[in-house]
Chains A and B, each alone.
Chain A
Amino acid sequence: MSAPDRLTGTVFNIQRLSTHDGPGLRTTAFLKGCPLSCRWCHNPEGMDPRWENGWDSRKCIGCGDCEAACRMGAVRRRADGGITLSHDLCVRCGACAAACPTGALTGYGRRFTPEQLCAELMKDEAYFSVSGGGVTFSGGEPLAQAAFVARTAGLLKARGVSVALDTCLYVSARAAAMPLPVIDIALVDIKAVDPVLHSRCTGRANERLFSNLSRYVSAARSGLRLFVRTPVVPGYTDGDANIAAIGRYLADLPEGTVEKWELILFHNLCAMKYAELERPWPLEGVGMLARADVARVENAARSSGFEPSRIAVAGLSEKE
Chain B
Amino acid sequence: MKQSQFPVDDRMQRLIERYRYLALNKKRELLAANPEFLIYHWSGECEAFAPATGEQAPPANRTISFGDHNCRVDTGKPYPFTDQMPSKTGAFEYSEYNWAVDYAFFLDHSPVVIHPYELIVGEMNWQLEEARLYKYPEECQKLGFEARKLGAGGFSLAHTCPDLGIGISLGWTGLLHKIRRNRAKFVSYGNEPSARYLEASDLVVSAIIRYIGRYADEARKRAADEGDPAQRELYRRIAGNCASLVQGPPQTFEEGILWINFFFVVERMNGHGNGYGRFDQFMYGLYRKGMDDGTLTRERARELIAEQYLKYGASYFSFGGRNEKLEDATNELSWVALEAYDMLGGYNHLGVMWHGDMDPAYFRYACEVVARHGAGTPTLVNYDVLRASELYSGFSEEDAWNVCYSGCQWYCSVGNEYQDQDVNCIVLIQPMQRAMKTCLERNLTDFEAFWAEYDREVNRTADALVALKNAQYRWQHKVWPEMITSTCMHGPLEKGRDVTDFRAVNNNYTSVNVLGVPNVIDSLFAIKELVFDRKLYTMKELQDAIDADWAGREPMRQRFLHAHKFGNDLDDVDAMAVRVSEHIRAVLHEKRNVKGFFFRPSLFQFMGHTYAGPFMGATPDGRHKDDFLAHGMNPMPGRNTEGISATANSLCKVDLRHFQGGSLQIELQPAAAHTMGDLTEYVDQFARAFFGKHGVQVNLNIVDLAELRKAMNDPHNPKYQDIVVKVTGYSAHFVAMDRKLQEEFVSRVNYVGS
Interface residues of A (CB under 8 A from B): 15-20, 24-25, 28, 61, 63, 65, 101-103, 123-124, 126-127, 129-131, 314-316
Q: What are 11 A-B contacts defined by CB distance under 8 Å?
A: A16-B644, A17-B753, A19-B675, A19-B753, A19-B754, A63-B554, A101-B556, A103-B562, A123-B645, A131-B681, A316-B671
Among B107-115, B206-214, B404-412, B688-696, which stretch is in contact with chain A?
B688-696
Contact check, A127 vs B685: say whether CB atoms are below 8 A apart: yes
Given A17-B643, A101-B558, A127-B686, 11 more A-B residue pairs with CB atoms under 8 Å apart are: A16-B642, A16-B645, A19-B676, A20-B754, A61-B558, A63-B558, A65-B555, A102-B558, A124-B649, A130-B688, A316-B671
Q: At the interface, yes or no: B77 with Cβ under 8 Å from chain A?
A: no
Bound CA span A61–B556, Å: 11
Contact status B558-A25, CB under 8 Å: no
Q: How far is the CA of A301 from the CA of B253 in the complex (A)?
A: 56
Indicate if B294 sits at the interface (CB-CB under 8 A).
no
Complex-state Cα separation, A192 to B432, whole angstroms: 62
Q: Is B677 on the interface with A (CB-CB < 8 A)?
A: yes
The reply to whether B555 and A63 form a contact with Cβ atoms under 8 Å apart is yes
Interface residues in B628-653 (C-beta closer than 8 Å to A): 642-646, 649
- Give the docked Cα–Cα distance between A18 and B754 (Å): 5
Q: Which residues of A contact B569 (CB under 8 A)?
A: 123
Given A25-B685, A61-B555, A126-B693, are A315 and B675 also a contact pair (CB < 8 Å)?
Answer: yes
Q: Which of B642, B671, B689 counts the most A-chain CB atoms under 10 A from its CB?
A: B689
Do A316 and B675 touch across chains, with their CB atoms under 8 A apart? yes
Instruction: Give the CA-CA distance A126 to B687 in the complex, in Å.
Output: 11
Contact: B562 with A24, CB < 8 Å?
no
Is B559 located at the chain interface by the 8 A CB criterion? yes
Enumerate the 3 nearest inter-chain pairs by beta-carbon distance, A residue then B residue, closest first: A101-B558, A131-B685, A18-B754
On chain B, the residues within 8 Å of A127 by CB distance are 645, 685-686, 689
Does any Cβ of A come within 8 Å of B284's Cβ?
no
B682 in contact (CB, < 8 A): yes
Q: Verify B644–A17 contact, CB threshold 8 A.
A: yes
CB distance from B562 to the nearest CB of A (A): 6
Instruction: Let me know if B534 is at the binding interface, CB within 8 A.
Output: no
Q: Which of B558, B676, B690, B754 contacts A15 (CB 8 A)?
A: B754
Q: Does B674 contact A (CB under 8 A)?
A: yes
Q: A24 to B681, alpha carbons, bound, how many Å? A: 9
Which chain A residue has the least Cβ–Cβ distance from B559? A101
Q: Which residues of A contact B554 (CB under 8 A)?
A: 61, 63
Q: B643 contacts which chain A residues (CB < 8 A)?
A: 15-17
Q: Is A102 a contact partner of B689 (Cβ separation < 8 A)?
A: no
Write out the residue numbers on chain B whose beta carbons fall within 8 Å of the beta carbon of A19. Answer: 675-677, 682, 753-754
Give every chain A residue within 8 A of B686 (Cβ-Cβ).
Answer: 17, 25, 127
Cβ A124 vs Cβ B562 within 8 A: no
Interfacial chain B residues near A24, Cβ < 8 Å: 685
From A17, A61, A101, A102, B754 is in contact (CB under 8 Å) with: A17
Write out the residue numbers on chain A whose beta carbons fall within 8 Å of the beta carbon of B642. 16
Q: Which residues in B have their C-beta under 8 angstroms from that of A20?
A: 675, 754
Chain B residues with Cβ below 8 Å from A61 are: 554-555, 558
Q: Which residues of B contact A17 (CB under 8 A)?
A: 643-645, 686, 753-754
> Nearest-CB distance from A124 to chain B (Å)?
5
Beta-carbon contacts under 8 Å, B556-612 to A: 556, 558-559, 561-562, 569
Q: Is the CB of B689 within 8 A of A101?
A: no
Chain B, residue nearest A126 (CB) = B689
**Please, how many angstroms separate the alpha-carbon atoms of A314 and B753 in the complex?**
14
Q: Which of chain A's residues has its CB closest to B678's CB?
A: A19
B675 touches A130 (CB 8 A): no
A101 contacts B693, CB within 8 Å? no
Q: How far is the CB of B207 from chain A (nearest CB, A)?
A: 52
B664 → chain A closest CB, angstroms = 13
A24-B685, A103-B562, A131-B689 in contact; A316/B645 too (CB < 8 A)? no
A101: which B residues are within 8 A, CB to CB? 555-556, 558-559, 562
Give Cα distance in the complex from A314 to B645, angstroms: 23
In the complex, per-residue mask of B69-90: 1 if CB is within 8 Å of any chain A CB, else 0:
0000000000000000000000
